[in-house]
Structure 1
Amino acid sequence: MQAAKEKLSNMSSAAKEHVDKYKAKVEEKKEKAGARNEVEKEIAHEHRKAKETEAKMHLHEAKAQHKAERHPHEVGTCVPTVAGVDPLVASHEQHGRHYPATAGVVPPATTGGVAGPTTVAPTYPGTGQTPTTK
């Protein structure tokens, strides 16, 4: 029952998007008819494209809302935070995508190109070896 309701809601939102796109095309024609030069015609075309994009955005928002109504536990799930674990990295790891943690990482300070006592030399991922330059 919920699947049918979601599908009908999505179809309704898609129909509304088509109506909004058609309205944008009609408004573009109206603006082009009143345009006095090529620049005004181009502006009318840009307005139409912006309105079509806005209609598409509203469609995707509506679909997300319909899915949230059907599956409230799946949309916007919160990842529990563990001390020392970045929640963004943890959420990516849950989905099988491993991205390097960049939030809160401070680049090492260098002293004129020479590695100082506080500088960590970069290593190749997975090998632990430092790069050599020739």
Structure 2
Amino acid sequence: MHSLKEKVSNAASAGQEHLDKYKAHVEEKAEKATARTKEEKDMAHEKMKAKEAEAKMNLHEAKSEHAADKLHGAHHLPGQPHAHHNQPLGTGVAAPTHPLAGHPPGHNHHI
């Protein structure tokens, strides 16, 4: 189950990376169209390369988070302790197992 969830999360992150790269290329074309000098065009290209690198870095970060979730379980938020459903032994009051258990001797309790 966790493996499937990790694969789906990785695929979604890869899709986001492709979208970010596409946006970077579109922005580069727009900047190059309005650029007047070769330096402005070169700067637009460098911005696009930086945005592509950032998208790739974000993908790798997301994949490592997905792998960590798989290892540690995604039942709780990162950095928060896992909530146990049962109390550890000796920390709580045991519930009576018999309907009349817990009543003083000689007490007639009608059920």
Q: CA RMSD in A?
A: 1.1
Tell me what 2:43 maps to.
Answer: 43
Instruction: Find the counterpart in structure 2 of residue 59 from structure 1.
Output: 59
Identity of aligned residues (%): 60
Q: Which residue of 1 aligns with 2:4?
A: 4
Deviation at 1:72, TM superposition (A): 2.6
Runs of 5+ in structure 2 lacking a partner? 74-111
Counterparts of 1:15 and 1:48, CA distance in 2: 18
CA distance in 2, matches of 1:70, 1:2: 6
Runs (4+) of structure 1 exceeding 3 A deviation are none
Partners of 1:36 and 1:14 in 2: how far apart?
35
Is 1:25 aligned to residue 25 of structure 2? yes
In structure 2, the residue matched to 1:16 is 16
Gaps of 5+ in 1: 74-134
Distance in 2 (alpha carbons) for counterparts of 1:35 and 1:44: 8
- Residue 31 of structure 1 deviates from its aligned partner by 0.3
Number of aligned positions between the proteins:
73
More helix by share: 2
TM-score, reference length from structure 2: 0.64
After superposition, what is the alpha-carbon deviation per residue over 1:6-62, rounded to whole angstroms, capped at 9, x for unaligned?
A: 000000000000000000000000000000010000000000000000000000000
- Structure with the greater relative contact order (CA < 8 A, sep ≥ 6): 1 or 2? 2
